[in-house]
Amino acid sequence: MSNMKPLIFLLLLLFTSLLGNAQANTCGDPVWSDEFNYEGAPDPSKWGYDVGGGGWGNQELQTYTNNRNNSWVADGKLFIKAIKTNGSWTSARLVTRQKGDWTYGRIEIRAKIPAGRGIWSAIWMLPTDFSYGNWPNSGEIDIMEHVGYDVNRIYGTIHTEAFNHTLGTQKGSNTMEPTAYTEFHDYAVEWDAENISIFVDEKRYFTFQNLHKTSAEWPFDKRFHLLLNIAIGGSWGGAQGLDGTITEAVMEIEHVKVYNLAPQQPVIIGPEFVQPNEEVSFECQQVSNASFLWDFPEDVQIIDGQNTNLINVIWGETSGPVKVKLQTPCDTLDANPLNVKLTTELTPLTVQNFTGENTAWKVNETATNTVTLEKVGNDNLRVNFSVQTPTNNPSIEYIFDETQNLSQNSCLVINLKTEKGSAPSNLRIDLIDQNGKSETNNLFKLEPLNDSGNYAEYKHIFGTGTTSGFDIEHIKSIRIYFNYGMFGTSGTGYFEFQPIQLKNKITSTNYLTVFPLQCWPNPATQLLTLDRNYNKVIIFNNQGQQMYEGSGNSIDVSRFQNGIYLISATGERGIYQTKFIKLN
């Protein structure tokens, strides 16, 4: 029950007129109900209490109690009563938390609510587990709110992290109901994985849709419970003051019923690619009082979760469909199968260098640098370069016809050759996503290059870095830099390569993954310190000659000539590389 300003909702009146009537979407018996066919205290197996004062986050005046003078059952009804005694207000706030908790369904409350300026009545829902954090992050569903100074109007509202009254972005509407405080009406919500609709009697006057973004917009995939209460005053209920002549206010409830909704077509959520013998989970949307019969290929071992909406399995050694049959008292539905493939069966993507005699690569032109491309053999590409300004970052680029999802085929394999005296001073391959970003925390540097004049294979797995925003699922191009940046050198040379392949990261073994290495000081004069102890450390000069081999994290470079050097070290995860400058 949150603070809302009525003026916000006046703008929504036109919208409510466009919403049609809807019948209760129920089937079979209610899955939970209380029809108050007993006397005394509310059934303790179904109802608990929130007790205490302190304003409840809205500057409210009442103290909630579990006393019989504030809540009781008689004559087939539940009574909630706010009472003013010696200038102080007490009331009741009944909750079904841990006694009635639901994910999806129709929750219907037949009630008559009190009038009076300063009286704030509510029938609403809160998350039981607050899985996404404190209010409003985990959501709130206001089925019915009524403030006494606006006596003929009923409000229905949704609050989330993105949509709430503290930001002025809450979502809701209202409807006129002049007999709300003189007659009983059915206040209901129908809630599934796609929509939350709010009703008075059979009139739907507001629907909130799942935008399929994040929990900030839709935290309503977790269980919620029901609250019934009368508040006094508060930031919204008391916005026009409190009638000093009022000493009591009573809400009467004839029944509370919770129904299954007739389920929509089930959807299976889970991985589309798995490794042999990998432990994985599959999930279907939760529906109250439903059973789930899962079906897998024969060699899949079920760990737990059969008959529930979440199942854990150990996948076998064949690809195949995941199926689930959802059965409720209403209906039996089959989900569309989710076809799961073994990563070992993924087809590599080959990047052809030529279409006929026309190259598929383009030169990224830079001033004072000259690059030409020529065909060698059937489909090999030779890159001839004359670089005068390395800091202009000379490069060539292959642009896909449409963006490629490389989340599985993320191992790039290139067979490349060059020769001593003509080799690039440095070379790097990037994947560029649809936003123009590359994975800067996981660079594929081909250093040192094999300059024997023979083809050498280089491999690298992309998508393992932590570069913010890099989208491995939408790759638009491959870019190759050479003699680039502050560590590049001017010069003339060539390199050539066969068609690049993008393969499955699991089945591509013996790949080269290069991680960043930190060293200081840089430039160095005498002693160079590495960021950790390494099993093996090799240093090459700018001509590819090996200048040092050792281990540890401290290297004496005082006898090195001035210049740029490459450090290549072997550590726990693979190869670590960086460059440093030696100065006297």
Residues labelled catalytic: 140, 145
Please give the single-letter amino acid code of residue 260: N
Give dist(CA 465, CA 444) in Å, integer. 11
Q: Which residue has the tokens 């280089």?
A: 458
Phi, psi of 481 (to 5 degrees): -95, 145
> Does residue 521 have a cis bond before it (omega within 30 degrees)?
yes
Give dist(CA 350, CA 329) in Å, integer. 52
Q: How distant, in Å, are the alpha carbons of 133, 199, 426, 429 from that of 387?
A: 55, 72, 12, 18
CA Rg value for the chain: 34
Residue 487, helix vs strand vs coil: coil
Give dist(CA 382, CA 453) in Å, integer. 13
Strands (E) in 285-379, as ranges, are: 291-295, 301-304, 310-314, 320-327, 332-334, 338-342, 349-351, 354-355, 358-359, 361-364, 369-376
Give dist(CA 116, CA 240) in Å, integer. 11
* Cβ(569)–Cβ(517) below 8 Å: yes
* Cβ(475)–Cβ(404) below 8 Å: yes
CB count, 10 Å around CB of 559? 9
Residue 52, helix vs strand vs coil: strand
Maximum Cα–Cα distance for the chain, whole Å? 100
In this structure, what token pair is assigned to residue 24?
Answer: 């209760």
* Cβ(81)–Cβ(73) below 8 Å: no
Give dist(CA 147, CA 249) in Å, integer. 12
